Chain A
Amino acid sequence: MQPVLSVRNLSVEYAAARGKVKAVNNVSFDLFPAETLAIIGESGCGKTTLALALVRLLSRSARIVSGEVTFSGANGVMPFDILTLNQRQLRAYRWRNCAMVFQSALNALNPVLKVKAQVQDTARAHGERDEKKIEARALQLFKAVRLDPDRVYNAYPHELSGGMRQRVLLALGLLLDPQIVILDEPTTALDVLTQRTIIEVLKRIKQEMGFALVFISHDLSMAAELADRIVTMYAGQIVEIGPVNDVFYRPKHPYTTGLMRAVPGLHGDKADLISIPGSPPDLIAPPPGCKFAPRCPYATAICTQQEPPLEARAPNHASACHHWDQIPILRATERNGSDA
């Protein structure tokens, strides 16, 4: 199957007072049609920078140093490299082919404009002028995200709760039927029950509309709920990528394992949890070799000398680690049927 988005060797640098911050370092991956890809990592790992680079919304102090982002989703159109588009082409690409909903998007709606004005503005900005058509589509989408269509369409943002606003933004993202939707921390500021609604809504509309979803989160549980494949990022690089069950039950990178062991769940004994010692490396002058080595329980001499390449260790499952085979397997095969 041909990927709808193909990222190769993407690197992004920020200019800071002390030097250049290598926020994204030689990242390559594919995004397939209708799949959900979760990008997991903690603060500073580069996941948000990566997402912004995919829609070219980086701040002015950031520079895309190298790489290609090839989009092949549109029917009958030749694949093109997003990084080479000019402003006009970019505006057509954004929202029609690829939409992004930002972190802390609860404040992304203009408080003095009604929702309908913002819907129409968005559509018009990306080349769609038929107001009636847009209104119909918006109402349809609001219904799909379980909002009362007429009430919300005519409301001001402050009349809606946080969860409702998040759903409005989701609907806005889907307005022009994009092939790719990127969500940055979609449920971080939301309560448990609201979060659940968003998750169910996402699952359903994704099934109905068939777009590819990239969502970025530090929350492993969200990834476990929604993802088909998981990408783990650390210090600007991809350290592991694979199908969700493989990554969770048969991880091949110590950072992924470390994350899973550090997250409390609602089951199991208390004694199981261990935090990852140390802190992320300085991205201006990173240490040689594997960037996770200083914090890694499996690290040996080779880890500080040679940077491990991202290579396939199992079908469709790649990791960047010299000692990937030492990582214990949590579950060899999936259980079938419901759990006891």
Chain B
Amino acid sequence: MPSETPIFELRGVHRSFKSGRQVIKVLQDVNLALQPREILCLVGESGCGKTTTGKIIAGMLPASSGEVLFEGRAVAGLKGEDFNAYRKAVQIVHQDPYASLNPTHNLYRTLSFPLFRHKLVKNNAEARARVLELLELVDLTPATDFIEKYPHQLSGGQRQRVAVARALTVNPRLIVADEPVSMVDVSIRVSLLNTLTRLQRQLGLTFVFITHDLAVARYFAWEGRIAVMYLGRVVEIGPAPEVTSNPQHPYTRALISSLPEPDPELTRSKQRLELRSQDIPSLLRIPSGCAFHPRCPFHVPGKCDVERPQLAPTPGASWAACHVTEAAAVRG
């Protein structure tokens, strides 16, 4: 299926850390391959490991074990120029627009620091021109109005655009966006998402978009994929429209059916998938076999609590880590 070398790959990545004497397994056996110019949404509830995965991809955290590959080469072994190239190639956009910009710098300084640092401009005049260019790229127009402003003079949506512009200063190839629109007003979200989509097409960027909002994920990754995570593992992955309209994994089905929709008749008549338990297991005591089995309505005793399922084809278009769907695919 992939036509080129994946721009980024996680192979068997584990991530754990010690808290006192306990070992908390935040990620277990995560396998992801990102094609260039692809949009991948990581979706899941809190504690599922999506933010940690994003940080590992961005190089902010090391993996405890497994391979993390950028353009086919292990990130951990990169040194000097190669490491700098990787760092510049992968950038982050954060969730909280009120914490993502340094309040003591105006936009010109915020955006020109990286330009000067990486010698992308030679003097102030060039820097200014480039900063204006970047502001226009993220739809902060007229750019001259914004260039001298401080973050506190901007709205949440505008700050997020500046954060994106900052990520673009070093000409990255991959952007990890961690919930970039969840703290922005509803009526502006779409506009910001459209800007990101346009940038993706215009600049050929690869996007890893982390969110808990399945509807936003579906919108943004319409032409890409959604990966659903649960307790540190990827449980389903497939094309966005498929995962949301024909989910295969029981957890995804529970999520989709539980989501309220902005349509009264639809949402009040929706069939909910009832789970066997409301309790989310703690990361200290991850259930044996399939981590979802204590809550899964399709749980097969003797199989699901013993053997951990791997990602495999399903009757639908996505792959899921589920014994039941795997068996159904084999049969059908």
Whether the pair A259, B45 counts as a contact (CB closer than 8 A) is no
B61 within 8 Å of A (CB atoms): no
Selecting from B52-60, B63-71, B161-169, B262-270, the interface stretch reads: B262-270
**Chain A, 46-65, CB within 8 A of any chain B CB:** none
Whether the pair B264, A262 counts as a contact (CB closer than 8 A) is no
Kindly provide the distance from the CB of B69 to the nearest chain A CB, expressed in whole angstroms: 31
Residues of A within 8 A of B215 (CB): 263-266
Given contacts A146-B278, A245-B264, A275-B190, contact A42 B259 (CB under 8 A): no
A335 within 8 Å of B (CB atoms): yes
A244 within 8 Å of B (CB atoms): yes
Taken together as a complex, chains A and B put the C-alpha atoms of A221 and B272 apart, in Å, by 15
Taken together as a complex, chains A and B put the C-alpha atoms of A146 and B185 apart, in Å, by 32
Whether the pair A264, B218 counts as a contact (CB closer than 8 A) is yes
Q: Which residue of A lies closest to B241 (CB)?
A: A270
Whether the pair B267, A196 counts as a contact (CB closer than 8 A) is no
A208 within 8 Å of B (CB atoms): no
Kindly provide the distance from the CB of B188 to the nearest chain A CB, expressed in whole angstroms: 6
Residues of A within 8 A of B265 (CB): 245, 334-335, 339
Q: Which residue of A lies closest to B43 (CB)?
A: A192
B147 within 8 Å of A (CB atoms): no
Whether the pair B278, A224 counts as a contact (CB closer than 8 A) is no
Whether the pair B264, A266 counts as a contact (CB closer than 8 A) is no
Which residue of B190, B214, B268, B278 is within 8 Å of A273 (Cβ)? Answer: B190
Interface 1/0s, chain B 250-266, versus A by CB < 8 A? Answer: 00001110111111111
Interface 1/0s, chain B 228-247, versus A by CB < 8 A? Answer: 00000000000000001100
Residues of B within 8 A of A195 (CB): 258, 260
- Classify chain A's interface size: 35 or more
Kindly provide the distance from the CB of A40 to the nearest chain B CB, expressed in whole angstroms: 10
Residues of B within 8 A of A245 (CB): 264-265
B222 within 8 Å of A (CB atoms): yes
Whether the pair B190, A193 counts as a contact (CB closer than 8 A) is no
Q: Which residue of A lies closest to B216 (CB)?
A: A264
Whether the pair A224, B262 counts as a contact (CB closer than 8 A) is yes
Residues of B within 8 A of A273 (CB): 190, 219
Whether the pair B222, A270 counts as a contact (CB closer than 8 A) is yes
Most buried by B among A194, A245, A262, A275: A275
Kindly provide the distance from the CB of B41 to the nearest chain A CB, expressed in whole angstroms: 12
Taken together as a complex, chains A and B put the C-alpha atoms of A217 and B45 apart, in Å, by 20
Kindly provide the distance from the CB of B297 to the nearest chain A CB, expressed in whole angstroms: 13
Q: Which residue of B lies closest to A276 (CB)?
A: B187
B144 within 8 Å of A (CB atoms): no
Whether the pair B45, A193 counts as a contact (CB closer than 8 A) is yes
- Majority DSSP secondary structure for residues of B touching A: helix
Which residue of B46, B155, B266, B269 is within 8 Å of A191 (Cβ)? Answer: B46
Taken together as a complex, chains A and B put the C-alpha atoms of A275 and B267 apart, in Å, by 23
A161 within 8 Å of B (CB atoms): yes
Which residue of A265, A275, A277 is within 8 Å of B262 (Cβ)? Answer: A265
Whether the pair B190, A221 counts as a contact (CB closer than 8 A) is no
Taken together as a complex, chains A and B put the C-alpha atoms of A156 and B157 apart, in Å, by 38
**Chain A, 254-275, CB within 8 A of any chain B CB:** 258-260, 262-267, 270, 273-275
**Chain B, 184-212, CB within 8 A of any chain A CB:** 185-191, 194, 212
Residues of B within 8 A of A194 (CB): 45, 278
Taken together as a complex, chains A and B put the C-alpha atoms of A265 and B191 apart, in Å, by 16
B280 within 8 Å of A (CB atoms): yes
Whether the pair B155, A224 counts as a contact (CB closer than 8 A) is no
Whether the pair A193, B261 counts as a contact (CB closer than 8 A) is no
Residues of A within 8 A of B185 (CB): 42-43, 218
Whether the pair A225, B260 counts as a contact (CB closer than 8 A) is yes
Given contacts A266-B244, A270-B222, A273-B219, contact A221 B187 (CB under 8 A): no
Given contacts A191-B46, A196-B272, contact A260 B262 (CB under 8 A): yes
B275 within 8 Å of A (CB atoms): yes
Whether the pair B264, A224 counts as a contact (CB closer than 8 A) is yes
Whether the pair A42, B187 counts as a contact (CB closer than 8 A) is yes
Kindly provide the distance from the CB of A309 to the nearest chain B CB, expressed in whole angstroms: 24
Kindly provide the distance from the CB of B194 to the nearest chain A CB, expressed in whole angstroms: 7
Which residue of B219, B244, B255, B260 is within 8 Å of A199 (Cβ)? Answer: B260
A105 within 8 Å of B (CB atoms): no
Interface 1/0s, chain A 50-91, versus B by CB < 8 A? Answer: 000000000000000000000000000000000000000000
A248 within 8 Å of B (CB atoms): yes
Kindly provide the distance from the CB of A332 to the nearest chain B CB, expressed in whole angstroms: 13
Whether the pair B264, A248 counts as a contact (CB closer than 8 A) is yes
Kindly provide the distance from the CB of B43 to the nearest chain A CB, expressed in whole angstroms: 10
Interface 1/0s, chain A 128-151, versus B by CB < 8 A? Answer: 000000000000000000100000
Taken together as a complex, chains A and B put the C-alpha atoms of A245 and B185 apart, in Å, by 24
Whether the pair B255, A193 counts as a contact (CB closer than 8 A) is yes
A220 within 8 Å of B (CB atoms): yes
Given contacts A224-B260, A245-B265, A265-B215, contact A259 B275 (CB under 8 A): no
Whether the pair B275, A193 counts as a contact (CB closer than 8 A) is yes
Whether the pair B219, A221 counts as a contact (CB closer than 8 A) is no
A338 within 8 Å of B (CB atoms): yes
Given contacts A42-B187, A273-B190, A338-B269, contact A264 B219 (CB under 8 A): yes
Given contacts A263-B186, A266-B215, A275-B188, contact A192 B262 (CB under 8 A): no
Whether the pair A262, B214 counts as a contact (CB closer than 8 A) is no
Whether the pair A224, B275 counts as a contact (CB closer than 8 A) is no
Residues of B within 8 A of A274 (CB): 190
**Chain A, 232-286, CB within 8 A of any chain B CB:** 244-245, 248-249, 258-260, 262-267, 270, 273-277, 279
Q: List 14 A-B contacts (CB under 8 A).
A: A163-B278, A192-B259, A218-B186, A221-B261, A224-B261, A249-B264, A259-B187, A265-B262, A266-B256, A273-B219, A275-B189, A275-B194, A276-B187, A335-B265
Beyond the given A262-B189, A266-B261, please list 14 additional residue pairs across the A-B interface where CB-CB is below 8 A: A42-B186, A161-B280, A193-B255, A195-B260, A218-B186, A221-B267, A225-B267, A259-B186, A264-B190, A264-B215, A264-B216, A265-B261, A275-B190, A339-B269
